[in-house]
């Protein structure tokens, strides 16, 4: 599927966006969204069927991605799967560097390994930093080279404000993005890899005799089928959420939440407000 037309529409969304959608001076004040009161806040709502921006707040301002970074790590894994470079049973070795990453992690010892299928689930559900580093080393030769490859892929997707420095999203002052870029990545994952996309709705999985459970509470809401949460102190609570209801699809990015619950409530508010304005599949607005 050719993603470029829709992705170009998202890039142009800041110009096409109606100011009335988020103006506090609108006569329909009761319908307006109240932004999270934080200097870290940024958000965007994109109609995934058309690429049209329905809501935008500081969406092009530089922010830290935190574990939203792992969306690109997974993108690169999906590419490697589809090219035949790896299979779902391929074992990814865990180096001392990977094992030394701080939590959250799977806790695999140096010299151990994890299969690709479990690695993807660990990135989605557990947001495992040790697995992210191991993937970077395996696919890139080193995590630093993998981060450079991630940045190059971001540019190819039109993510002009994103630079990756590691595969996990752990703190690094040079690792930056914006809400619009993260929405672009969320759309690209769904459009390029529909055959792998179900991974993002995984809530739990079994590994090494234990059940690994996630913490994305929004997956409990009907119509929400992914994608990824993230948090570091510098970023606040981030999320990219995919919504698919009755042929309407949204990508919602919220960055800079002050708590996971507050961030999730804001996402729900954005969905409730803007899903009715989205196009049905095929581009028909209602």
pLDDT digits (tens, 9 = 90+) for 221-247: 889 998 999 999 999 999 999 999 999
Binding residues are 228
Q: Please choose, from the candidates 127, 124, 138, 92, the residue with its C-alpha nearest in 3D space to the C-alpha of residue 111.
A: 92
109-137 as b/e, with b when 16 or more CB fall inside 10 Å? eeebebbbebbbbbbbbbbbbbbbbbbbb
Report all structural domains of the chain as residue ranges with CATH numbers, in order of start.
Answer: 4-280 (3.40.710.10)
Confirm if 220 and 145 have CB atoms less than 8 A apart. Answer: no
Active site residue 83: no
Question: What's the pLDDT score for residue 222?
Answer: 87
67, 118, 235, 242: which is the annotated catalytic residue?
67
Question: What's the pLDDT score for residue 239?
Answer: 98
Binding residues for substrate are 228
Query: pLDDT band at residue 30, thresholds of 50, 70 and 90?
Result: very low
Cα–Cα–Cα angle for 207, 211, 213, rounded to 5 degrees: 115
Question: What's the pLDDT score for residue 282?
Answer: 59
Q: How far apart are CA 236 and CA 63, in angstroms?
A: 10
What does the mean pLDDT of the chain come to? 90
Active site residue 87: no
247-277 as b/e, with b when 16 or more CB fall inside 10 Å? ebbbbbbbbbbeebeebbebbeebbebbbeb
Query: pLDDT band at residue 20, thresholds of 50, 70 and 90?
Result: very low
- For 192, half-sphere exposure in the C-beta direction (CA atoms, 13 angstrom radius) is 21
56, 58, 127, 235: which is the annotated catalytic residue?
127
Tokens of 256: 């800079």
pLDDT tens, residue by residue, 245-282: 999 999 999 999 999 999 999 999 999 999 999 999 75
40, 56, 58, 70: which is the annotated catalytic residue?
70
Active site residue 210: no
Tokens of 149: 């490859």
Query: 218: burial class by Cβ within 10 Å (0-12, 13-18, 19+)?
Result: buried
């Amino acid at each position: 599927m050719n993603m470029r037309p829709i992705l170009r529409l998202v890039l142009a969304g800041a110009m096409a966006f109606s100011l009335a959608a988020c103006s506090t001076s609108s006569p329909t004040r009761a319908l307006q969204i109240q932004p999270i009161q934080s200097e870290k806040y940024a958000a965007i709502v994109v109609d995934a069927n058309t690429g049209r921006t329905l809501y935008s707040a500081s969406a092009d301002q530089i922010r830290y991605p935190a574990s939203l970074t792992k969306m690109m790590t997974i993108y690169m894994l999906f590419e490697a799967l589809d090219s035949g470079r790896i299979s779902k049973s391929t074992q990814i070795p865990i180096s001392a560097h990977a094992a030394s990453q701080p939590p959250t992690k799977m806790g695999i010892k140096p010299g151990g390994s994890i299969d690709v299928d479990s690695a993807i689930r660990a990135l989605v559900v557990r947001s495992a930093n040790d697995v992210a580093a191991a993937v970077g080393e395996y696919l890139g030769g080193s995590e630093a080279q993998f981060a450079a490859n991630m940045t190059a892929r971001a540019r190819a997707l039109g993510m002009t404000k994103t630079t990756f420095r590691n595969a996990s999203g752990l703190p690094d002052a040079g690792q930056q993005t914006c809400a619009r870029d993260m929405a672009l990545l969320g759309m690209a994952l769904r459009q390029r890899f529909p055959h792998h996309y179900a991974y993002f709705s995984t809530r739990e999985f079994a590994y090494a005799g234990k059940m690994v459970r996630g913490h994305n509470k929004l997956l409990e809401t009907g119509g929400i089928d992914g994608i990824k949460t993230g948090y570091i102190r510098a970023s606040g609570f981030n999320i990219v959420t995919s919504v698919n209801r009755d042929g309407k699809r949204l990508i919602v990015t919220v960055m800079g939440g002050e708590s996971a619950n507050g961030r999730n409530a804001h996402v729900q508010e954005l969905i409730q407000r803007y899903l009715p304005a989205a196009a049905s599949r095929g581009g028909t607005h209602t």
